[in-house]
Chain A
Amino acid sequence: MHLIKKHGQSAITAALFCIGLLPAQAAETGITIEAVDAYSCGALSNDIPNVDNFRTRMLSIGGYTAGLRYVNGLVYPTDFTDPQVLSGGADTFNFDRTGDAIAYFSGHGTCDDQTNTACTTNAGCPTVAGLQKQCLRFTDSPLTGRCVYSRPRNIVVDKTGSSCQLVNYSTGGVRWGEDPTAGTWAGAGTNGGINLAIIDNSCGITPGMYIPQLLKTFAGVSSIALIMPTRVGSDTADVANRGRAFADRYVANVNSAVGPSWTSAINSVTGGSSCAFGGGSHGVVGCGAHIYVSLEVNQARAEWANRTESWVQLRNEANDGIGSGWMSWLYTCNYDCNNHPFFLP
């Protein structure tokens, strides 16, 4: 049964807010999920179960509430873009709503950040105008790499079921988390709300490219969780148990930290294939990591958001990001990425 139409619901909320029936700073507890399996550019099967399993598990104990759920053709490109930054953007009513704490997307991405250009040093990678480059380890013996670039990362949707559309969340119209508490420092108004975005797609972020690929995405959102392939040819696997593995950490311990919960969730995710440097799988085809990136006004706040903020604190909008001074990240690789570092010098 179809319930309330999307924009009608938003209008009611806005009206209640204007006449003072809703508190100006209500707790942010909602969990919105969006997922696509019915792609015309390559069907998937586990994205919808993945987000459903996440939210069902989260809601199996108190604390959070159900936000929106859009799947397949109801996931629009404009769900993710900000109306102040890109005309027609409608994240205010979809992926970045006031009152939501968490928004989770699961579906395709693009891997055009990876190339098959061989390298042994960063300097050996051809320069591409406007992009940063890295020589990403490919084999240990002989020690060789492949060039990767800071190309914008994308969420892929298929609104019509006949043509896939890209949503550039690096340099496009995406800004998440802006609200009155966060302020307007990102130039996106104050009509967002989420405190955590989870992007469960292909090649969600390129190793070492955190600044060019995510700096503009933050507008108050405390942190962004992604999957990061760490070897050219590796990628996110289409598995149904990643979201629930993350939620399991909350259900076990509501006072645990959200960032380490995301990265350590890789330990409970199954499926995938082996990594050239040992290990592998855990929801990754090849080598990869769960990464959690936080942006804040200074180092202490960024590290707090990244390593310390608990599931309870995540619901408090007073903990929103209030500036873009420092970026912190935490990741867990599915292999020994300490002794097999990502980059060649």
Chain B
Amino acid sequence: MKLNSVNICLLLALGTLQIPLAMADDLELQADNTPLLNTEGFKYVHSVEKSRFNQGIAAQRETEGPYLRVVGDKGVFMEDTVTGATLLVPNAVAGGPKSTAALRADLPQFLTDNPDKHSAAVKVYLLGAGIPANEVSGMHVTTTMGGGGPALAGVQPAESKLLWYTTHLERSLNGIPVEGSFAFATLDSQGKSFTEGVYWPAISAQVVRKAVALKRKLSSPAALQQFMGSAKAVRSDLAGAEAGEVKIVHTSAGHHGDFEAQAVYSLVVRNTGLGKAQIVRLDETGAPITLGDEVKMATKSVMKVQ
């Protein structure tokens, strides 16, 4: 029995060694003619066992539809079993209105007011948990601040105080940003995580290769001009678009329909009149694409009367 296990392991090891050799024949080059670093993007699903979530001694597991929760005394760690996305959300501070000092004491205390130190700690944490290091191309923080003042006296915005930093690991495959994936965490003064989220789905080799090919194709100004010319023929508003970027985009963490990932040329199109900026994504032919979670529902509105 033991011998059989050894043999199986040996065969598996040999098989594993052969995979890279076989794939080497199929390697393509990046835009700068260097070999692809990532032939595909690997899926990582975070788990409460790997999390620094301080779940307490009486944590309960519960399932509600597609949601699997670990309910602790300070918060809930949830996995969306459809997508594999995880989210840690702290409980609200208990009790009713209280003094500012008392509320501040009850809120999570940050690990550090130095964003670089926070990011370094989060990077160690999340890479240690299993985020593929070779897919992490950078980090950035988001910053939570709060303030207030007497309304009639006119509040002073300068009174806003830092509450905590959150650090994000940025995902790229062969230098091409992956939009839709995220891995972030906020660490408290004990180094425990009090909010975090991870969505790191698999990206197929086909999509990665298409993205690399699209980046290579658009690396010449003439080719980009021709590409955009075709796109503008379909959408005249692209004439005012800002310079774009080749990205891999995929459906979002909460989307319960089919997973989609696509190689696109992504542009920001500002409205010349009122309001929001659009993000337009073009496929390799210059045609606009829409992901599954951007499709309007068929539900109709209740009719109004004037």
B78 partner, pick from A237, A245, A251, beta carbons under 8 A: A251
Interface core residue of A71, A202, A248 (most chain B CB under 10 Å): A248
Contact B142 A335 (CB under 8 A): yes
In the complex, given contacts A3-B303, A7-B305, A325-B151, what are 10 additional A-B residue pairs having Cβ atoms less than 8 angstroms apart? A48-B297, A60-B65, A68-B302, A202-B277, A241-B252, A268-B253, A324-B152, A325-B150, A329-B148, A338-B145
5 contacting pairs across A/B (C-beta < 8 A) = A41-B273, A70-B301, A273-B242, A302-B148, A325-B151
Instruction: Report B-chain residues with C-beta under 8 Å of the C-beta of A264.
Output: 144, 166, 195
Q: Say whether B275 faces chain A, with CB atoms less than 8 Å apart.
A: yes
Question: Which of A15-23, A178-186, A293-301 contacts the other chain?
Answer: A293-301
How many residue pairs at the A-B interface have CB separations less than 8 Å? Answer: 301
Please, what's the 1-or-0 string for B76-110, where 1 marks a CB less than 8 Å from any CB in chain A? 10100000000111111101111110010001000
Contact B87 A248 (CB under 8 A): yes
Contact B293 A49 (CB under 8 A): yes
Instruction: Report A-chain residues with C-beta under 8 Å of the C-beta of B46.
Output: none
Contact A238 B67 (CB under 8 A): no
Please, what's the 1-or-0 string for A1-43, where 1 marks a CB less than 8 Å from any CB in chain B? 1111111110000000000000000000000000001010110
Contact B78 A252 (CB under 8 A): yes
Instruction: Report A-chain residues with C-beta under 8 Å of the C-beta of B146.
Output: 306-307, 328-331
Given contacts A215-B151, A307-B146, A338-B143, contact A300 B296 (CB under 8 A): no
Given contacts A109-B274, A238-B278, A325-B151, contact A256 B97 (CB under 8 A): no
Contact B304 A74 (CB under 8 A): yes
Interface core residue of B140, B270, B276, B302 (most chain A CB under 10 Å): B276
- Shortest beta-carbon distance, B77 to chain A, in Å? 8
Instruction: Report B-chain residues with C-beta under 8 Å of the C-beta of A39.
Output: 274-275
Please, what's the 1-or-0 string for B94-132, where 1 marks a CB less than 8 Å from any CB in chain A? 011111100100010000010100000000000000000
Instruction: Report A-chain residues with C-beta under 8 Å of the C-beta of B93.
Output: 257, 307-308
* CA A44 to CA B98, docked complex, whole Å: 43
- Shortest beta-carbon distance, A295 to chain B, in Å? 6
Contact A299 B148 (CB under 8 A): yes
Contact B273 A241 (CB under 8 A): no
Closest partner residue, chain B, to A256 (CB atom): B89
Given contacts A237-B279, A331-B145, contact A211 B151 (CB under 8 A): yes
B-contacting residues, A53-102, CB 8 Å: 53, 56-57, 60-61, 68-71, 74, 76
Question: Which of B11-19, B177-185, B209-217, B224-232 contacts the other chain?
Answer: B177-185
Given contacts A49-B294, A335-B142, contact A267 B168 (CB under 8 A): yes
Instruction: Report A-chain residues with C-beta under 8 Å of the C-beta of B98.
Output: 300, 304
Q: Say whether B221 faces chain A, with CB atoms less than 8 Å apart.
A: no
Instruction: Report A-chain residues with C-beta under 8 Å of the C-beta of B252.
Output: 240-241, 244-245, 270
Q: Say whether B2 faces chain A, with CB atoms less than 8 Å apart.
A: no
Closest partner residue, chain A, to B156 (CB atom): A208
- Shortest beta-carbon distance, A104 to chain B, in Å? 14
Q: Say whether B271 faces chain A, with CB atoms less than 8 Å apart.
A: yes
B-contacting residues, A260-275, CB 8 Å: 260-261, 263-264, 266-268, 270-273
Contact B296 A52 (CB under 8 A): yes
Please, what's the 1-or-0 string for A219-256, where 1 marks a CB less than 8 Å from any CB in chain B? 00000000000000001111111001101110111011
Q: Say whether B220 faces chain A, with CB atoms less than 8 Å apart.
A: no
Instruction: Report B-chain residues with C-beta under 8 Å of the C-beta of A304.
Output: 96-98, 103
* CA A29 to CA B89, docked complex, whole Å: 22
Q: Say whether B41 faces chain A, with CB atoms less than 8 Å apart.
A: no
Contact A335 B141 (CB under 8 A): yes
* CA A257 to CA B74, docked complex, whole Å: 12
Q: Say whether B35 faces chain A, with CB atoms less than 8 Å apart.
A: no
* CA A253 to CA B160, docked complex, whole Å: 27
Q: Say whether B136 faces chain A, with CB atoms less than 8 Å apart.
A: no
Contact B148 A267 (CB under 8 A): no
B302 partner, pick from A3, A302, A339, beta carbons under 8 A: A3
* CA A71 to CA B304, docked complex, whole Å: 11
Q: Say whether A285 faces chain B, with CB atoms less than 8 Å apart.
A: yes
B-contacting residues, A303-345, CB 8 Å: 303-304, 306-310, 313, 324-339, 341-343
Instruction: Report A-chain residues with C-beta under 8 Å of the C-beta of B20.
Output: none
A1 partner, pick from B163, B296, B300, beta carbons under 8 A: B300
Instruction: Report B-chain residues with C-beta under 8 Å of the C-beta of A9.
Output: 302
Contact A332 B143 (CB under 8 A): yes
Contact B141 A336 (CB under 8 A): yes
Contact B87 A256 (CB under 8 A): no
Closest partner residue, chain A, to B147 (CB atom): A329
Contact B278 A326 (CB under 8 A): no
Please name the 3 residue pairs, one residue from A and one from B, whose CB atoms are nearest each other, closest first. Answer: A108-B275, A328-B148, A300-B97
* CA A336 to CA B146, docked complex, whole Å: 14
Q: Say whether B299 faces chain A, with CB atoms less than 8 Å apart.
A: yes
Contact A255 B91 (CB under 8 A): yes
Instruction: Report B-chain residues with C-beta under 8 Å of the C-beta of A117.
Output: none
* CA A74 to CA B277, docked complex, whole Å: 23
Closest partner residue, chain B, to A70 (CB atom): B301
Contact A156 B155 (CB under 8 A): no
B272 partner, pick from A42, A164, A328, beta carbons under 8 A: A42
Q: Say whether B201 faces chain A, with CB atoms less than 8 Å apart.
A: no
Q: Say whether A111 faces chain B, with CB atoms less than 8 Å apart.
A: yes
Contact A256 B90 (CB under 8 A): yes
* CA A164 to CA B303, docked complex, whole Å: 20
Q: Say whether B204 faces chain A, with CB atoms less than 8 Å apart.
A: no
Instruction: Report B-chain residues with C-beta under 8 Å of the C-beta of A208.
Output: 157
Please, what's the 1-or-0 string for B283-306, where 1 marks a CB less than 8 Å from any CB in chain A? 000000011011111011111110
Instruction: Report B-chain residues with C-beta under 8 Å of the C-beta of A4.
Output: 302
Q: Say whether A162 faces chain B, with CB atoms less than 8 Å apart.
A: no
Contact B274 A108 (CB under 8 A): yes
Instruction: Report A-chain residues with C-beta under 8 Å of the C-beta of B296.
Output: 37, 48-49, 52
- Shortest beta-carbon distance, B293 to chain A, in Å? 6
Closest partner residue, chain A, to B252 (CB atom): A241
Q: Say whether B223 faces chain A, with CB atoms less than 8 Å apart.
A: no
